[in-house]
């Protein structure tokens, strides 16, 4: 047994030595007996007193046991809260029940706080007190691994100690605190050197000498945490405590995670989790660690499947933090985005919640694949549309659940046959197109990849049938419809089996129609132009027609908003298109202009600096304002020069810093 373990037991019972809280508005909280006693002996805290008096000295078991019991009796003799006596009675009854069940008393081991043990030995237990305990509540019990951060009182564990890793080193050194202090100082020096600070072996030895000297002055048998910290600040950190607080002190807390003995037993999910973590060399620490997976080999794809199964099953362990370099906030962790990635960055951290969740999820299946399958099938049963079923389909592929893939394909087909929602059908077509393009390397459907391709082809065709009706929508539905039209355009151009000709027919119909929302007509015009299905002269003619004086300004502005959503840079480079836009803006009456200004702002507000530059140059060219055009161009070029000058200065400074570093 770890010789400093009793410190944990006593800390758990520290409230045994606390006086009841005083009452009344003038009352001040009393100092706990433990803290008061420590201060009376010249120590700054009870932790320091306990370390110097109980843990650091080289006690023999024969000396240590009576000393510990004597301390516990002191606590019990002081003001003790009533519920501790009630707990004594409950624990004593449980022990006696085990003995009455036929187990020899010498075979029974009782793990309890020191104050409780002292009460047992002194026979200060009243069985009647147990009846005063509140009624129990239903609970489940399991055994999970410990971790040093969870045992540290600095991170919130009430019965913890200050530095589990430091005490572990002392335990491994047979309670030689001097050796533990020296080892930690060597670790500190290594951490400082890794961060570019100067920390030599002579600095370590000087810090060690100072720690020993401080312990001698304080009449301690060996240095403790307080001496370790003070010596580190004075020598290794040159009097600056910032480094200790920022990163050094974390190493005395430690981040190790223990293991549950095999004889204790784990459920199948726990066993699978720890086996996979070990075999795949994934983090098993109780502090966040970041790592990357390159999805170009079966081993790392398997690790990705494992992590995505945990994500879908709701087991807290790893979070997707990026796709190689960074990930936009709000980007999806699974689904289509996961299918298209070639690299994933994860941040993993084991916590007790991980094992608790593994215990709870056992009711859903005896393997992670079975649990994931259960969760996905439940989501599929609640999917209200083709898009919802397609999302489950993609998650089934990412998590390697082949059975769910087949079921989700049938659900997508069933929903698509009666789904009139264009955004839903477009989303499903995109998902199926992704499976057709990137393959189903993680999980194959029972019908093979051909089943995915066939369904994708049919879903795209069904979406085309809904384009005209969906585009005749109310203003509040326009953003979703525009997104759906862009999605169909992308699928038509990227997927060979999609009906590209059919899409172009529908896009032309939108462009020419006045029955649909003008924004959809504008978007269709821009998409056809970018796909080179519409000559530039025809685009200018169509834009001029849509922005003419015969058209309501609000409709013209909405058309322009959809038109500029495609690729504004390409569009404003066309002088004919800019001329039509200029003619429209100059022809609108002031009052009507004010009415359409919000839509115009929304349409033109998306233009970046480059797009605005081309737009201004073409406006000047259209109006044949050569002198003013040259002036505007000069201003723009001057701004560019200033920008380049600032960039050059920043680059020069960075190079100078690099030279200094090297």
CA gap 175, 164 in Å, rounded: 13
The predicted pLDDT at position 573 comes to: 66
pTM above 0.85, yes or no: no
Distances (CA, A) of 488 to 235, 425, 434, 506: 67, 9, 12, 11
Three-state DSSP state, 147: strand
Name the token pair of 436: 């057709």
Write the CB contacts of 324 (distance below 8 Å, at least 6 apart in sequence): 292, 341, 342, 343, 344, 345
The average pLDDT across 433-446 equals 64
Is residue 484 pLDDT above 90, yes or no? yes
Three-state DSSP state, 68: helix
What one-character-per-residue DSSP string does 527-566 give?
HHHHTTSS-HHHHHHHHHHHTSTTS-HHHHHHHHHHHHTS
Task: Choose among 466, 472, 570: nearest CA to 520.
Answer: 472
Residue 108 · residue 46 · CB < 8 Å? no
Q: Which of 18-32, 83-97, 519-533 has the lowest mean pLDDT?
A: 18-32
Classify residue 32 by its DSSP letter. Answer: P
Conformation bin of residue 156: beta by default, left when phi > 0, alpha when psi is -120 to 50: left
Write the pLDDT tens digit of every residue in 216-256: 999 999 999 999 999 999 999 988 888 888 878 888 888 78
Residue 368 · residue 151 · CB < 8 Å? no
Residue 515 · residue 551 · CB < 8 Å? no
Backbone angles phi, psi at 131, to 5 degrees: -65, -20
CA gap 250, 242 in Å, rounded: 13
Question: Position of tokens 């060399």?
Answer: 281
Q: Which of 304-318, 344-358, 418-432, 549-563 has the lowest mean pLDDT?
A: 549-563
Taking the CA atoms of the chain, what radius of gyration do you get in angstroms? 36
Name the token pair of 132: 């005063």
Domain boundaries, the chain: 5-139, 149-253, 273-363, 535-624, 626-662
Strands (E), 24-103: none
Write the pLDDT tens digit of every residue in 174-205: 889 999 999 999 999 998 998 888 889 999 99
Three-state DSSP state, 159: coil
Question: 291 falls in which pLDDT band (50, 70, 90)?
Answer: very high
Sheet holding 343-348, edge to edge: 289-294, 343-348, 318-322
Q: Which of 137-146, 542-551, 614-623, 627-636 has the lowest mean pLDDT?
A: 627-636
Three-state DSSP state, 317: coil
Task: Choose among 349, 345, 313: nearest CA to 328.
Answer: 345
């Amino acid at each position: 047994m770890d010789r400093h373990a009793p410190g944990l037991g006593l800390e758990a019972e520290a409230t045994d030595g606390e006086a009841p809280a005083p009452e009344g508005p003038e009352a001040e909280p009393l100092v706990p007996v433990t803290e008061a006693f420590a201060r009376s002996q010249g120590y700054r805290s009870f932790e320091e007193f306990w370390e110097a008096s109980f843990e650091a000295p080289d006690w023999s078991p024969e000396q240590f046991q009576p000393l510990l019991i004597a301390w516990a009796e002191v606590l019990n003799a002081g003001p003790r809260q009533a519920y501790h006596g009630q707990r004594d009675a409950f624990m004593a009854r449980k022990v006696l029940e085990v003995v009455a069940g036929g187990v020899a008393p010498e075979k029974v081991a009782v793990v309890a706080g020191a104050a409780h043990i002292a009460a047992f030995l002194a026979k200060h237990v009243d069985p009647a007190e147990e009846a005063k305990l509140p009624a129990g509540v239903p609970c489940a019990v399991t055994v999970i691994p410990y971790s040093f951060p969870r045992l540290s009182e600095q991170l919130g564990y009430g019965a913890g100690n200050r530095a589990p890793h430091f005490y572990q080193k002392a335990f491994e050194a047979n309670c030689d605190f001097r050796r533990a202090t020296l080892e930690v100082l060597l670790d500190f020096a290594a951490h400082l050197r890794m961060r570019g600070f100067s920390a030599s072996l002579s600095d370590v030895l000087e810090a060690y000498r100072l720690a020993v000297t401080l312990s001698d002055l304080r009449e301690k048998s060996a240095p403790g945490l307080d001496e370790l910290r003070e010596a580190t600040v004075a020598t290794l950190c040159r009097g600056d405590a910032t480094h200790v607080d920022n990163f050094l002190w974390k190493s005395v807390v430690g981040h190790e995670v223990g293991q549950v003995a095999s004889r204790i037993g784990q459920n199948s999910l726990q066993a699978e989790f720890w086996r996979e973590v070990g075999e795949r060399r994934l983090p098993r620490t109780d502090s966040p660690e970041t790592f990357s997976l390159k999805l170009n080999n079966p081993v790392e794809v398997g690790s990705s499947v494992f992590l995505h199964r945990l994500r879908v099953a709701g087991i807290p362990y790893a979070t997707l933090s990026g796709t190689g370099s960074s990930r936009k906030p709000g980007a999806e962790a699974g689904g289509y985005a996961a299918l298209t990635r070639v690299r994933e960055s994860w941040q993993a951290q084991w916590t007790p919640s991980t094992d608790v969740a593994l215990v709870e999820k056992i009711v859903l299946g005896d393997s992670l694949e079975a649990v994931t399958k259960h969760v996905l099938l439940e989501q599929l049963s609640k999917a209200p549309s083709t898009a919802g079923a397609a999302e489950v389909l993609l998650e089934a592929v990412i998590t390697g659940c082949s059975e769910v893939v087949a079921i989700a394909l049938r659900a997508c087909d069933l929903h698509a046959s009666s789904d009139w929602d264009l955004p839903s059908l477009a989303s499903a077509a995109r998902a199926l197109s992704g499976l057709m393009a990137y393959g189903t390397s993680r999980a194959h459907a029972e019908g093979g990849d051909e089943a995915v391709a066939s369904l994708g082809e049919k879903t795209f065709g069904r979406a085309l049938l809904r384009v005209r009706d969906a585009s005749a929508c109310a203003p509040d539905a326009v953003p979703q419809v525009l997104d759906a039209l862009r999605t169909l355009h992308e699928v038509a151009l990227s997927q060979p089996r999609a009906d590209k000709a059919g899409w172009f027919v529908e896009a032309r119909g939108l462009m020419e129609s006045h029955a649909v929302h003008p924004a959809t007509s504008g978007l269709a015009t821009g998409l056809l132009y970018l796909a080179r299905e519409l000559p530039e002269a025809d685009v200018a003619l169509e834009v001029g027609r849509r922005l003419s004086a015969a058209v309501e300004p609000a409709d013209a502005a909405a058309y322009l908003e959809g038109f500029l959503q495609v690729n504004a840079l390409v569009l404003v480079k066309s002088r004919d298109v800019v001329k039509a836009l200029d003619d429209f803006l100059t022809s609108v009456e002031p009052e009507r202009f004010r009415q359409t200004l919000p839509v115009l702002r929304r349409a033109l507000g998306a233009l970046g600096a480059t797009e605005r530059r081309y737009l201004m140059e073409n406006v000047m060219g259209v109006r044949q304002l050569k002198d003013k055009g040259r002036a505007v161009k000069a201003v723009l070029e001057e701004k560019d020069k200033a920008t380049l000058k600032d960039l050059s200065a920043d680059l020069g400074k960075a190079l100078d810093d690099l030279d200094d570093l090297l």
